[in-house]
Amino acid sequence: MGTLNLLYQRQYAINDAIKIQIPTVGQVVDQEDEYYSVVGALTAMPIDMMVQLDDAGIDFTTINDYDLFLMMFAGLKEQDTKLVFGELDLTRFQMMVNQKNGMVVLRDEEKDITIDRAIHGQIAATLRKIHHIEKNRRKPANKEAKDYMMERARIKMKRNKNRKRDSQLESMIVALVNTEQFKYNFETVRNMTIYQFNESVRQVIKKIDYDNRMRGVYAGTISAKDLSQDDLNWMVHK
């Protein structure tokens, strides 16, 4: 997905039938909880849901992200997915077995649309690219490490259970609008796509880091010879 060009796109076609939407910042702000809930369900790794899986009697180290997606699909069908899938109607999909390879897939028989493991992988990879979500591949080395991870995850979940969540997107908008490197205001930022905004956040952070390093070089507190070429060029985009 590294070469995927999404900068000027409003949608990305997985295939002829399935297209991932790239909504505007304004659209996301207006439906933030619902939108990120859908994105989270489509990009979740078993380690992200270890507590919920454990409560269901499932060892998170024994299933993969596609298995998890299939488990969560019934709940996903009940959500508003238009900002992610456009007019694709997930309620039409049923779980069935592909008779050719024995794999469990999701099918809309009437429209002849299939979501299998490969298609889900492309959907998740596209959304991770749009939102800078890293694929969490961590696995505990042994039972003691797994028990510790589970304990910490349960503590974190309990701590956050009754905590009112502030809008992360609104916080980022406020921060950027009040940053000299960002040329949009509270109104114009709404028209950016969420991908353009996320890329801008990353680039502004990189520019600020670069400016701070250069001040250190000029002040003599940082040696230029210890910096990489990437450190010396804030326009390098990765």
Q: Taking Cα atoms as reference points, which of 33, 22, 24 lies closest to residue 80?
A: 33
Largest CA distance in the chain: 69
Residue 72 has pLDDT above 50, yes or no: yes
Query: Do both 118 and 17 map to the same domain?
Result: yes
Nearest residue to 88 (alpha-carbon basis) of 184, 190, 179, 14: 14
Residues 22 and 6 sit within 8 Å (Cβ to Cβ): yes
For residue 204, give the 3-state DSSP assignment.
Answer: helix
Which residues on neighbouring strands pair with residue 21, listed in sequence order?
11
Q: Is residue 215 part of a domain?
A: yes
Q: Which of 37-51, 81-95, 151-165 has the lowest mean pLDDT?
A: 151-165
Q: Is residue 4 included in any domain, yes or no?
A: no
Average pLDDT value for residue range 69-95: 96
Asked if residue 190 and residue 103 are part of one domain, the reply reads: no
Domain stops at, among 143, 160, 177:
160
Hunting for tokens 């505990």 — which residue is that?
140
Q: Express each pLDDT in 3-26 by its tens digit.
A: 568 999 999 999 999 999 999 999
Q: Is the pLDDT of residue 1 over 50?
A: no
Q: Is residue 236 part of a domain?
A: no
Which residues 6+ apart lie within 8 Å of 42 measured at CB? 69, 76, 84, 120, 123, 124, 127
The residue from 102, 129, 160 where one domain ends is: 160
Q: Which tens digits make up the pLDDT trace of 158-217?
A: 888 777 777 889 999 999 999 888 899 999 999 999 999 999 998 888 777 767 776 776
Q: Mean pLDDT of all residues in the chain?
A: 89
Q: Please report how the helices 65-77 and 32-43 are oriented relative to each other, as an axis angle in degrees rounded to 10.
A: 150
Pairing of strands 19-21, 11-13: antiparallel
Assess whether 113 and 176 both reside in one domain.
no
Cα end-to-end distance, the chain, whole Å? 12
**Domain assignment of residue 235, yes or no:** no
- How far apart are alpha carbons 200 and 175 in whole angstroms? 12
pTM for this predicted structure = 0.86
Higher pLDDT, 4 or 99: 99
Domain match, 20 and 126 both: yes
Question: What domain range is 47 assigned to?
Answer: 11-160
Please check whether residues 98 and 215 belong to one and the same domain: no
Same domain, 154 and 185: no
Query: How far is it, in rounded angstroms, from Cα 27 to Cα 48?
Result: 26
Question: What Rg value do the Cα atoms of the chain yield, rounded?
Answer: 21
Please identify, among 160, 182, 206, the residue that sits at the C-terminal boundary of a domain: 160
144 and 175 co-located in one domain: no
Number of domains in the chain: 2
CA-CA distance, 131 to 12, in Å (whole number)?
Answer: 14
**What are residue 114's DSSP bridge partners?**
107
Q: Is residue 45 part of a domain?
A: yes
SS3 at position 11: strand
Q: Report d(CA 24, CA 111) in Å as an integer.
A: 29
In a shared domain, residues 70 and 98: yes
